[in-house]
């Protein structure tokens, strides 16, 4: 059985029962969980965390592109927001502590909003989410 989840960029995440978890130390040995995490994480949560990671990469790239733009108008408040979101997102995924799908979706939406604000502030364009598949 499979479901589709639409994020704020209208990209679909296919959430089947098959997964490859990128978030824990087992991944380094190419033995990451493929059905459900030994930690209790579902395949859906793993895919949402992948989507979150792709959004973080896009936010960082959007900020980097905006920084190269000579019309850089990023405010200290926006820079702080970007930094906070990146730290929050990394903590959510790398430490593998948050399996709450709703909060992961909310964080991903906030990251997309910050990327749009960053691009608008610098007359740039939003970099697409990195595809973790």
Residue 54: the pLDDT is: 95
Q: What dihedral do alpha carbons 27, 52, 91, 30 form, nearest 10°? A: 0
Domains annotated for the chain, with CATH where assigned, are 3-121 (1.20.1270.20)
Residue 48: the pLDDT is: 92
Residue 65: the pLDDT is: 76
Cβ-based neighbours of 1, under 8 Å, separated by 6 or more: 16, 17
Q: Would you state the structure tokens that stand for residue 131, as one six-digit string?
A: 């595809």
Residue 19: the pLDDT is: 66
Query: Please, are residues 57 and 111 in contact by the beta-carbon 8 Å criterion?
Result: no
Residue 72: the pLDDT is: 66
Q: Would you state the structure tokens that stand for residue 38, as one six-digit string?
A: 């030994």
Query: Please, are residues 6 and 12 in contact by the beta-carbon 8 Å criterion?
Result: yes
Under-50 pLDDT residues of the chain = 1-15
């Amino acid at each position: 059985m499979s479901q589709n989840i639409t994020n704020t960029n209208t990209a679909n995440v296919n959430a089947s029962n098959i997964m490859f978890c990128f978030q824990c130390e087992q991944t380094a040995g190419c033995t990451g969980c493929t059905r459900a995490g030994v930690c209790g994480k579902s395949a859906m949560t793993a895919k949402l965390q992948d989507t979150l990671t792709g959004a973080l990469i896009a936010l960082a790239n959007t900020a980097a592109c905006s920084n190269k733009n000579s019309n850089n108008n990023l405010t200290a408040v926006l820079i702080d927001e970007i930094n906070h979101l990146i730290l929050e997102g990394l903590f959510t995924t790398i430490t593998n502590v948050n399996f709450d799908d709703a909060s992961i979706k909310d964080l991903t939406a906030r990251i997309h909003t910050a990327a749009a604000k960053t691009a608008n502030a610098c007359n740039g364009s939003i970099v697409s989410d990195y595809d973790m598949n």
